[in-house]
Structure 1
């Protein structure tokens, strides 16, 4: 599932590709990917100019000049491609927004969606989300407050969107490895130094993920040299040598999630 770095990469790249441009046409190939009848959705979206593109947690918000928004969540397996139809990957497209000869193809939206909502509806959808971990407001004191009196292990807290927005299964493994903490550790067991290290690891890993373009394998457009440059330290690397101590990386199941960690240098 795309997480904060992937959606931030999409946001920055799409800003240069489609921001300020009108949506000439709309094609819907899977009605369940949208939240309105097809004709009504097309009527409200077609010929609308995109005035801004913002990210919140794992969502993208495309603001239209009429005042309504397109809210995108790619969920598991969703991705995008921008370009001509003849250049797109040989994959099923659920929704297509046309910008003349170039189109934004939404692919793999079997669980994901592109919903047309008012600004107020988007605000309500975000009400329960925790703070953005890379915002100026996410200080060490804010982190303390978010975890105060929380129960559960570090892994479950990091991926809880009501605690911190945008971190998922992949980057939580990376963060905990960088912080040298085991995923099953309880937050109330952490010494202050470990807590600070965890906070700094969140910032480091997410910023590194954005700088390297996230982990998505598929480029957003032909010639895209940004998307997918992030190399995981340990996630999905079972049996490979830990980059820090060279012990084989372990995988196990925790609350229906595949978790990767090092038994030697995470404590």
Structure 2
């Protein structure tokens, strides 16, 4: 039989992982004062140096905030749960993209900044999802979303060329109401959507654009949107910083 898999990470990293879980789960609420080094030393049976290293890791990752002469506290914001189902339906005529209106409901300021629009040869998994032949191009629309001026998501959306060329999907400007509303107007209403969610280390582009601290991973969503007759009309690669967001799903049985 194979040997049991052993956690050989430095003890400081293991302690940081335990505390990180307490924060992400809400067990340690925002603003809570972290136990003293003496208490943590006794709990984890280690040295003061190791505890300080663990806490510094979490400060660097922005899970903890130090206040000189007062102590160390859990960050003031809890991890936010994003529910993709809220954004499937197109916006009502004249209304902003649902991602923005949902932010307003949460008393947040949401905005997008376009990065790139143009015809490209898409990644292999995107081409496969759009049912393209090798070498075929797609229309790319990439953008970065902000919540309260903090980068919240990096989005790469791809559309079939024959559907997008000559439409607002090829325009560098933001689309009023977002792509679901435009596709609906064009006769391609959203009928269903498949999401594949993963976690992985950030690329350099993601690290810089999303202001990822230290080695925090990103949440990656690979989304395929289908219209009538199960035709794929949009494929989106979306990444979010995992120290600030969770993905939430509600399933009716």
TM-score higher than 0.5? no
Name the structure where strand makes up a greater proportion of residues. 2
- The structure number with the bigger radius of gyration is 2
